[in-house]
Amino acid sequence: MGSADFWNSQEAAQDVVQQVKGLKNWVEPYEALVARVQSTRELAELLDAEPDAEMEAEVSREATRIGEELEEFRLRSLLSHPDDFRDAQLEISAGAGGTEAQDWASMLMRMYTRWAERKGFTVEIVDLSEGEEAGIKGAVLEIKGLYAYGYLKAESGVHRLVRISPFDSQARRHTSFASVFIYPVVDTDINIEIREEDLRIDVFRASGAGGQHVNKTSSAVRITHIPTGVVTASQQQRSQHKNKATAMQMLKNRLYQIELNKQLAKKAELDANKSDVSFGSQIRSYVFQPYTMVNDHRTELKIPDVQKVMDGGIDPFIEAFLKEHGGERTGSAA
């Protein structure tokens, strides 16, 4: 990177910059942990010579913190796919079942938002379609943070809810479904050819809760990529231009994912032992009644505290999945 002709080839230079960024994501946290371990050891040696209760408590707390961060670093070591470091785009869609399924979709949206906040990630609502009575028909969230996609790729699939419906006057038990798909947020300079003649762009009024929040102009944008049938939409911005830019970026993310999945399919044909996880397969059940249990059907990990999971406590499921699948790509169509 220090050579005078480094930027002569923009494409090659960007590849190197991307590699450097990926390596720094490993080297810098590792070196920081090593320095903290060394410093804590030195303090521990001083305590051997001159005991101090307050300092001993601080050393103990720091050792605990280092242990937790080391465990986090170990988990990250399972994220070896080139796209794992990227931000994530998370799409939630309510299944059949009307209000009950739409409420379940909104519960999942809250769960992932709480998980992201715990991680220190930021969450932006890119698109949101509200239900008629309650919940949401669908939503697209952009979750920004280092390795957001690597962690969340394990969440793609159908999520099943079993509970006594609050919308059923007879208090009967209902089963509802919602799908979750995860896409990597790709760099804007990645070369994905999108021809104008392959696009159908529709504008419409953004929906909302009513009153002052309803757009009076057609600012929302829906883009259909005719060759693939991929549809993206954005209505969160007041500007049609901004919504179009957001929808185009979403489309680029989808097409990037499709290309990578084509490569994966070719690889899978050569790997007879590769497990077949179908697109949209049921991956997890959340049971609220007659007992409480969250069961991941891929790893068979079961957690009885369903409320803790719904408050964003999904890390055990992510970790169990990554331990089994390592750096495999497990995106929306894998």
Q: Report DSSP letters for 98-141, one per residue.
A: THHHHHHHHHHHHHHHHHHHHHT-EEEEEEEEE-SSSSEEEEEE
Which residues are within 8 A (CB) of 79 and not within 5 positions of it... i.e. 6 or more apart?
A: 85, 147, 150, 151, 322, 327
How confident is the model at residue 264, as a pLDDT? 64
pLDDT mean over 122-138: 90
162 in the same domain as 298:
yes
207 in the same domain as 179:
no
182 in the same domain as 103:
yes
d(CA 261, CA 278): 12
- Does residue 294 register a pLDDT over 70? yes
d(CA 242, CA 260): 27
Domains in the chain, number: 3
How confident is the model at residue 102, as a pLDDT? 93
pLDDT mean over 17-28: 82
165 in the same domain as 100:
yes
Structural domain harbouring 216: 196-268
How confident is the model at residue 161, as a pLDDT? 93
Which residues are within 8 A (CB) of 22 and not within 5 positions of it... i.e. 6 or more apart?
A: 82, 85
How confident is the model at residue 289, as a pLDDT? 85
Decide if 73 contacts 36 (C-beta within 8 A): no
Decide if 191 contacts 318 (C-beta within 8 A): no
How confident is the model at residue 327, as a pLDDT? 52
How confident is the model at residue 198, as a pLDDT? 87
152 in the same domain as 36:
no
Helix/strand/coil for 262: helix
- CATH number for the domain including 227? 3.30.160.20
How confident is the model at residue 78, as a pLDDT? 84
Rounded to the nearest integer, the mean pLDDT of the chain is 84
**What's the DSSP call for residue 289?**
S
Which residues are within 8 A (CB) of 57 and not within 5 positions of it... i.e. 6 or more apart?
A: none
Give residue 182's pLDDT band: very low, low, confident or very high (50, 70, 90).
very high
Q: Beta strand pairing status for 282-287 and 157-164?
A: parallel
pLDDT mean over 91-99: 87
Please report whether residue 95 resides in a domain. yes
| Amino acid letter, residue 274 | K
Return the percentage of the chain with pLDDT > 70, whole number.
Answer: 87
Phi, psi of 293 (to 5 degrees): -165, 135
d(CA 311, CA 259): 34
pLDDT mean over 77-84: 82
288 in the same domain as 178:
yes
Phi, psi of 56 (to 5 degrees): -65, -40
- Does residue 331 register a pLDDT over 70? no
155 in the same domain as 298:
yes
pLDDT mean over 168-179: 84
How confident is the model at residue 266, as a pLDDT? 55
Class of residue 282 by CB neighbours under 10 A (exposed 0-12, middle 13-18, buried 19+): middle
160 in the same domain as 203:
no
**What's the DSSP call for residue 169?**
T
How confident is the model at residue 49, as a pLDDT? 87
Highest mean pLDDT among 153-157, 211-215, 257-261: 153-157
- Report CA 324 to chain centroid distance, whole Å: 19
Domain boundary among 76, 108, 134: 76
pLDDT mean over 44-55: 89
179 in the same domain as 124:
yes
How confident is the model at residue 21, as a pLDDT? 80
